[in-house]
A and B are shown apart, each in its own frame.
Chain A
Amino acid sequence: MNAQVQIQVTASPGTGYNFAYLDEGTKRMIRRAILKAIAIPGYQVPFAAREMPMPYGWGTGGVQVTAAILGSSDVLKVIDQGADDTTNAVSIRRFFTATAGIATTTRTAEATVIQTRHRIPEAPLAEGQVLVYQVPIPEPLRFLEPRETETRQLHALAEYGLMHVKLYEDIARHGHIATTYAYPVEVAGRYVMDPSPTPKFDNPKMDDCPALQLFGAGREKRIYAIPPYTRVRSLDFEDHPFRVQSFDRPCALCGAEDVYLDEVVLDDAGGRMFVCSDTDHCETRRADGHTGEAA
């Protein structure tokens, strides 16, 4: 009766937490929701979101999805508005480094899992990658119909007239569709979905994307997905077709055109410059020798 007992240490060394923070029961519950979300593209699967050691609005939904899918060989990239070096991105990256002991990167091409708040990287995504979105309000119809019971019926009946009325009212008031972010999309010809508050500039990147796209809303307790190579159509009208933002100047640091730019205020005398919102894309271009007017 002196059998040796080996205890496998699965937590990140020294933290006392389970691998990637969540307990295994919670991970299984989230994983089952992810599988149903993939099978029903664009449909919001309810899940029992946990409280996370960060406030709602800081990506608790995305963090739970990332924690549920992450394996020890994954390489994680986290971006906040396209940047790897802002508070939200840095703290989430540190959270998973501490609790899962996994490798992190800022290079889009090197990452296997990319958690994002409000942007899709400029570099094209590849088949082996998973893009995890942090979502504040997953229901695209919520500000048109506040009752969950009603929006659920509208999705069940594929009754999306309200959304077209909203876009039409944009045209009636402004002469064009003035929605610039969280621009509604139709996934695989069935569900209308909120792409999270990404600029509509990024909507075309969701269409026919080789990577799997997962969406997690922690406070609202919803998970949804776009499988790879899925048709994602931005809603529009024949006489007012969907159009993305365009910028009248290139990035001031790397000279990139056809990318999404952030405005940076330089002084209190009205000085400003426009730079790539995607910091990795900008750095990669500058390393390749591209320069803008301010560099």
Chain B
Amino acid sequence: MAHTLARQLAHGFADPVHEGQAVFRAAMEALSRPGRIRPLAIALTPPAPLTPELAALALALTDADTPVWLDAPLREEPAVAGFLRFHTGAPIVASPGQAAFALIADPAGCPAFTEFAQGTPAYPDASATLILAVETLSDADGPAFAGPGIRGTMRLDAGPLPADWASRWAANQAGFPLGVDLLLVAAGRLAGLPRSARPAAPEATPCT
């Protein structure tokens, strides 16, 4: 019995203290410099479709204090919730509005940003952080962004994303200081898009 369990449960961080710190620092750098892609080296093999990057951010940032919402593909595989519950203790919630963190394996099917906690005018920090596992992540093309953390403008392209992605983000940003923050992860890489990053014309003059 013990052996069966051991085979079923994927490992968490081998060194929770330093790996957790490294993943957090990558997330901190990503949100401080929106659009800049940084490496995220992970030695995890979580149950699919939970990607190693999604798992690493969940292990580093969530615990019993942070309700986590899983999108449909992650919900359909019971081993994903089992992995997260065992290693983080985070409650898995059914409604996006209750979540502090949302793990999204199918970003094209991501619910409207407004379904997630936006924070309140007095407490804008009481808002959700969405972690999306995308397939492609590039800073060479795509829509341009300006704002805090960006010198001039920065481009960030990710895919697949919802068809109305640009208008969704514009609406999310227009609600500042309310809104959600995004962490976009691809294989071995990470980029951040905080609510402060506003859409910009690519050739626009620096305006921070």
| Chain A residues near B (Cβ < 8 Å) | 8, 10, 18-19, 24-25, 27-29, 31-41, 43, 45-46, 68-72, 152-153, 155-157, 187-188, 190-191, 208, 212, 225-231
Residue of B121, B151, B181, B208 most packed against chain A (CB within 10 A): B208
Q: Is the interface of A mostly helix, strand, loop or mixed?
A: mixed
Beta-carbon contact of B151 and A229 below 8 Å: yes
Indicate if the CB atoms of A34 and B28 lie closer than 8 Å: yes
Q: Which one, A69, A208, A228, contacts B33 given CB within 8 A?
A: A228
With CB as the reference atom, state the residue of chain B lying closest to A31: B24
When the two chains form their complex, are residues A156 and B176 in contact, meaning their CB atoms are under 8 A apart?
A: no
**How many residues of B are counted as interface, with CB atoms below 8 angstroms from the partner's CB atoms?**
43
B27 adjacent to chain A (CB < 8 Å)? yes
User: 25 A-B Cβ contacts within 8 A?
Assistant: A10-B16, A19-B17, A25-B63, A27-B20, A28-B24, A28-B62, A39-B194, A40-B196, A43-B125, A69-B21, A69-B28, A72-B18, A156-B120, A187-B148, A191-B177, A226-B148, A227-B31, A227-B32, A227-B33, A228-B149, A228-B151, A229-B149, A229-B151, A230-B149, A231-B208
A38 touches B124 (CB 8 A): no
Residue of A188, A190, A226 contacting most chain B CB atoms (<10 Å): A188
Query: How far is B129's CA from A34's CA once the two chains are assembled, in angstroms?
Result: 13
On B, residues with C-beta under 8 Å from A are 14-18, 20-22, 24-25, 27-29, 31-33, 60-63, 65-66, 100, 120-125, 127, 129, 147-151, 176-177, 181, 194-196, 208
CA distance A71 to B150 in the complex (A): 25
Q: Which of B32, B62, B65, B127 contacts A38 (CB 8 A)?
A: B32
A41-B14 in contact (CB<8A): no
Which residues of A are found within 8 Å of B16, using beta-carbon distances? 10, 24
Leading 3 A-B pairs by shortest Cβ distance: A39-B194, A156-B121, A227-B149
Tell me how far the C-beta of A220 lies from the nearest C-beta in chain B, rounded to whole angstroms: 15
SS class of chain B's interface: helix, strand, loop or mixed?
Answer: loop
Report the nearest A residue to B120, measured CB to CB: A156
Chain B residues lying within 8 Å of A34, measured Cβ to Cβ, are 28
Q: Are A40 and B125 in contact (CB under 8 A)?
A: yes
Q: B20 contacts A38, CB within 8 Å?
A: no
- How distant is the Cα of A229 from the Cα of B32 in the complex, in angstroms? 9
Contact yes or no, B122 A153, CB < 8 A: yes
CA A191 to CA B14, docked complex, whole Å: 41
Name the contact of B14 in the complex, choosing from A8, A36, A72, A153 (C-beta under 8 A). Answer: A8
The answer to whether B195 touches A35, judged by C-beta atoms less than 8 angstroms apart, is no
Task: Looking at the assembled complex, report how far the CB atom of B84 sits from the nearest CB atom of chain A, in whole angstroms.
Answer: 14
Closest chain B residue, CB of each to CB of A33: B125
In the bound complex, what is the Cα–Cα distance between A40 and B121 (angstroms)?
Answer: 12
State whether A40 and B177 are in contact (beta carbons under 8 Å apart), knowing that A24-B20, A31-B28, A152-B122 are contacts in the complex: yes
- Chain B residues, Cβ within 8 Å of A229: 148-151, 208
Nearest residue in A to B150 (C-beta to C-beta)?
A229
User: Is A10 within 8 A of B15, CB to CB?
Assistant: yes
